[in-house]
Amino acid sequence: MVTASDDTKMPRNKNVLLARPDILTLQPYVNAAWDPAYERLHANENPWRANGDKSTAGLNRYPESPTTTLHAHLAELYNVPVNQVLAGRGSDEGIDLLIRSFCRADKDSVLICPPTFGFYKVAAKVQGANVIEVPLIRSNDGFNLDVNAVLNAVTPTTKLVFLCSPGNPPGNALDREAMLKIAKQLDGRALVIVDEAYIEFANRPSFASLVDEYTNLVVLRTLSKAYALAGARCGTTIANAEIISLLAKVIPPYAIPTATFETVLAVIHKTNRLQIEQRINTLIAERNSLMIKLKQVPIINRVFSSDSNFLLIECVDAEKALAAAKSVGLIVRDMRSQPQCANCLRITVGLPEQNTRLITALANIRATT
């Protein structure tokens, strides 16, 4: 295993060797030891808590390394071994870490399948990595992978392939067999990152349990959506233990703030799971009902099928639809800059009253034109 103390040992997972050579040999920063048995005079912290500090641990102290308590809880939540998880500030941090660890500037590339989540491209550009785009195939119902086109587009310097399932903005989940075929074919050539930010809203199993079988597979999960913690910023990268060890060398020291750590532990506590599940089910029911109603609105040409907490719609005139939403105090996301998304908007499923207000505003467009 690639660890801080033994970087020269050959990894058992050949996919680790796809990483930047300088990252493979990097000696990581060592956080100040976390040992509650001692009083802390080793981390240049302030000895007094600040007025207004409501945390349990005290924000004057650096947080506990997440590899202990937080990782144990996330591993339990996602039903994987603790050495397969790395917490970050949102799954955005997982995306960024993967690109920084595996892509050499001006040499390596990432492959994305648009329309897709915009941050993959931005993070790649920040790192100086090239971006290969293989569009999803659009059908009446949703967007699907072009497996052969993806495989043919991968070059010897393509290190990461991002598959977003359920997709943002398409909304639908990708075909499981197609994703596994890509992972299998690219073993030893590229990591396949399955971004499951919306998986809790899909009637599909996560790929998280497969990361030892497919050792180039990386799964991104987040607490931002189904767990209602977008403001806490906590995402989890799940991968074979050796890939996790490598990424853990690159993540900045004390990455997860104490306030996040304490909130996450409270929210994902077993006593809250039933309510979380009920809310997910309510959102799914509301999404399905919103879909039926949107399909009846004259200025909407198409409502794409969704396995997430949002719907992608194609309007006759997106500009008018945006204005109608704003006129009743609602903002929806303009997706027209995404490929194959002319006149498309993305609507997050809200409270029933908000959804009704939106439908009424969109339905009224026809009456006034």
Ligand X SMILES: Cc1ncc(COP(=O)(O)O)c(C=O)c1O
Q: How many H helices and E strands in the chain? A: 11, 13
Q: Which residue is nearest to ligand X (CB)?
A: 90
Q: Which is nearer to ligand X, 112 or 243 (CB)?
A: 112
If you write DSSP's letter for every residue of 279-297 in order, what string do you get?
Answer: HHHHHHHHHHHHHHHHHT-
Q: Which is nearer to ligand X, 162 or 214 (CB)?
A: 162
Q: Which is nearer to ligand X, 11 or 166 (CB)?
A: 166
At 93, list the tokens: 């941090």
HSE-CB at 340 with a 13 A cutoff on CA atoms is: 19
Least distance CB 90 / ligand X (angstroms): 2
Q: Which is nearer to ligand X, 11 or 170 (CB)?
A: 170
Least distance CB 368 / ligand X (angstroms): 33
Least distance CB 216 / ligand X (angstroms): 19
For residue 167, which of 135, 133, 143 has the smallest C-alpha distance? 143
Least distance CB 71 / ligand X (angstroms): 16
Q: How far apart are CA 283 and CA 201, in angstroms?
A: 8
Q: How far apart are CA 76 and CA 5, in angstroms?
A: 27
At 103, list the tokens: 């892509």
Q: Which is nearer to ligand X, 13 or 222 (CB)?
A: 222
Number of residues that this document lists for the chain: 369
Q: Which is nearer to ligand X, 164 or 315 (CB)?
A: 164
Given the rule CB under 6 A, which residues bind ligand X? 90-92, 117, 164, 168, 195, 197, 222, 224, 230, 235
The residue written with tokens 């500009």 in the block is 319
Is residue 8 within 8 Å of residue 90, measured between CB atoms?
Answer: no
Going from the C-alpha of 231 to that of each of 110, 224, 259, 270, 294, the distances in angstroms are 28, 7, 11, 21, 29
Least distance CB 121 / ligand X (angstroms): 12
Least distance CB 293 / ligand X (angstroms): 24
Q: Which is nearer to ligand X, 47 or 205 (CB)?
A: 205
Say how many C-beta atoms besides its own lie within 10 A of residue 33's C-beta.
Answer: 10
Least distance CB 291 / ligand X (angstroms): 19
Least distance CB 197 / ligand X (angstroms): 4
Q: Which is nearer to ligand X, 117 or 304 (CB)?
A: 117
Please say whether the dihedral angle defined by the alpha carbons of residues 69, 19, 27 and 25, taken in this order, is positive or negative: positive
Q: How far apart are CA 252 and CA 121, in angstroms?
A: 22
Is residue 147 within 8 Å of residue 128, measured between CB atoms?
Answer: no
